[in-house]
Chain A
Amino acid sequence: MTNEELKQRFTELLPGAIYDETGEFLNVIINSEVLLPFVKELRNNDTLSFDYLFCLTCVDWKDHLMMVYHLLSKDHKHTVVVKAKITDITNPEIESVSSIWKTANFHEREVYDLFGVKFLNHPDLRRIFLDEDWPGHPLRKNYVDENMIEI
């Protein structure tokens, strides 16, 4: 399906979505509360069937966190990037999608480890790279580390 059809289908599912086509893929920007039902529909709907989540990450824009989900449908060969905006920076929280795509389990643990975003009802939310008692979350822009030699 082309971007127009996709956009038209998404507005049916979620009227409040904002679209951005400047980049290579169609970006759908929604806020983090409505993520899970919307994304579950993307996965289970036969005409959309986004079954391959190939990149899940987070970008720290200083005033808000943006969760980015790159989705591809193996059957229909169309791609969409779902961006969930988390406004609460102090303790960011979002629904976990690991029940839909099993690859999200590890990716979400990495985002929790490096960004501090808590994923609700994630099966096994532990820090994946750093020790449990590591102060702070390194990839946040406000992360400060005294023994990191910076240039």
Chain B
Amino acid sequence: MSALIEEDYITEEGEFVINIGPQHPSTHGVLHIKAWLDGETIKKVQPHLGYIHRSIEKMSESLSYRNFIFVTSRMDYISAHINNEACALAVEKGLQIEAPPRAQVIRILMAELTRLASHQLWWGATGLDLGAITPFFHAFREREAIITIMENTCGARLTQNYMVPGGVMYDLHPDFQKETKAIVKQVKEKLGEYEDLLTGNVIFEQRTKGVGYISKEDAISYGCSGPTARASGVSCDVRKWFPYDGYDKVVFDEVLDTGGDCYARYMVRMREMVQCCDIIDQLIDNIPEGDFQAKTKNVIKLPKGEFYQRVETARGELGVYLVSDGAASPYRIKYRSPNFSNLSALEHMAVGGKIGDLVAIMATLDLVIPDIDR
């Protein structure tokens, strides 16, 4: 990457520190980044966290196995379904029960719809961060349509508390299939429009190409996962590596890119949207009949031991490490959140670049701050 300018005009006693602080449009929440600057070049970046640390792990230790699931949809609220699915699967792994086939397919459909809606929100926010206002409104047109579909089935727009240990809470809305087919067709048509708006834009390419590069080894060493890691060539899609809920029966390919810079991360997410549409198309017509929830006791008690369940959220690999000592509430829960590790790579990508590059890097890292602070 461009090394610092040869001779350093700044005499050392004056260090120029700015706070890209908790209340900042580009941090998508309350992330506080302290940046040491030399002119516009970044010398050092230090994220300060904790401004939305709501002690979710301490709280989960006092909730029952049915309740703690819905706290996680407040962590990464843009992929709420997938978070709840991770916790429901962890409890099912403890009870050694399987969700019935209909519930599994409904879970995959809801997860892929969430991933689609999440990438659309990310796409609008990236445009907004890099100075383009129009993508925000185009993205939210499809996102609102998807959210209305989910609202008809689950009853809530953003934090849909729909996944329970053993399957899903209710059955699908009668015209769920018709609406989902319509929205997937609309998204496929409009993706061309998304491409015209941002991908081909010269300013966007100059702002993102070659900016925030991270190599494959560094991405693995920093623990990056999801589109951020796949843009550097790291194959880490949990749906392929450790399939859950019948993902092995679905035909889709893992989107990989070797660019490693902001533009590669952008392209990986754009191509992932197409994959989501393909998965939904495969499953929407043959949702198996049968009950949508396996029988579970009212008060769930997991046997003594520990269980680890991984899922692929829109931002990366969310892991639920659940330690139980046989009581009605978990002994210890650790949420391995994707944004926490993706953020740790921010300093590696941002040093040496300009301030504008820092904003572009944070936009393509797709951070959700309560998922970092938990």
Chain A positions near chain B (C-beta within 8 angstroms): 22-25, 51-55, 57, 59-60, 68, 70, 74, 77, 101-103, 105-107, 110, 114, 127-131, 138-139, 150-151
A55 touching B307 by the CB < 8 A rule? no
For this complex, 26 residue pairs linking A to B, each with C-beta atoms less than 8 Å apart, are A24-B307, A52-B220, A52-B223, A53-B223, A54-B223, A54-B317, A55-B336, A60-B332, A68-B321, A70-B321, A74-B220, A74-B234, A102-B222, A102-B344, A102-B348, A103-B221, A106-B341, A106-B344, A107-B340, A110-B340, A127-B50, A130-B53, A131-B50, A138-B55, A139-B58, A151-B62
Q: Is B166 an interface residue (CB 8 A)?
A: no
Residues of A within 8 A of B317 (CB): 54
Judged by DSSP, the binding face of A is loop
Q: Is B334 an interface residue (CB 8 A)?
A: yes
Residues of B within 8 A of A59 (CB): 323, 331-332
Q: CB < 8 Å: which of B50, B55, B341 contacts A103?
A: B341
CA distance A54 to B373 in the complex (A): 17
Among residues 335 to 370 in chain B, which have CB atoms less than 8 Å away from a CB atom of chain A? Answer: 336, 340-341, 343-345, 348
Residues of B within 8 A of A54 (CB): 223, 225, 317, 319, 336
CA distance A150 to B104 in the complex (A): 36
Residues of A within 8 A of B305 (CB): 22-23
CA distance A129 to B343 in the complex (A): 14
B221 touching A55 by the CB < 8 A rule? no
Residues of B within 8 A of A128 (CB): 49-50
CA distance A150 to B218 in the complex (A): 43
CA distance A138 to B50 in the complex (A): 14
Q: In the complex, what's the smallest C-beta–C-beta distance from A13 to chain B, in angstroms?
A: 22
Q: Which partner residue on chain A sits nearest B223 by CB separation?
A: A103
Among residues 288 to 320 in chain B, which have CB atoms less than 8 Å away from a CB atom of chain A? Answer: 305-308, 317, 319
Q: Is B281 an interface residue (CB 8 A)?
A: no
Q: In the complex, what's the smallest C-beta–C-beta distance from B283 to chain A, in angstroms?
A: 27
Chain B positions near chain A (C-beta within 8 angstroms): 49-50, 53, 55, 57-58, 62, 93, 217-218, 220-223, 225, 234-236, 241, 305-308, 317, 319, 321, 323, 331-332, 334, 336, 340-341, 343-345, 348, 373
CA distance A24 to B306 in the complex (A): 9
Residues of B within 8 A of A139 (CB): 57-58, 332
Residues of A within 8 A of B58 (CB): 138-139
B308 touching A25 by the CB < 8 A rule? yes
A129 touching B221 by the CB < 8 A rule? no
CA distance A150 to B50 in the complex (A): 22
- Contacts known (A23-B307, A52-B223, A139-B58); A106 close to B343, Cβ less than 8 A: yes
Q: Which partner residue on chain A sits nearest B323 by CB separation?
A: A59
CA distance A14 to B82 in the complex (A): 39
Residues of B within 8 A of A53 (CB): 223
- Contacts known (A74-B234, A129-B50); A101 close to B223, Cβ less than 8 A: yes
A55 touching B321 by the CB < 8 A rule? yes
Residues of A within 8 A of B221 (CB): 51, 101-103
CA distance A130 to B57 in the complex (A): 14
B222 touching A23 by the CB < 8 A rule? no
A102 touching B218 by the CB < 8 A rule? yes
Residues of B within 8 A of A138 (CB): 55, 58
- Contacts known (A129-B49, A139-B57, A150-B62); A55 close to B308, Cβ less than 8 A: yes
CA distance A24 to B307 in the complex (A): 7
B220 touching A70 by the CB < 8 A rule? no
Residues of A within 8 A of B343 (CB): 106
A106 touching B340 by the CB < 8 A rule? yes
Which among B221, B236, B343 has the greatest number of chain A C-beta atoms within 10 A?
Answer: B221
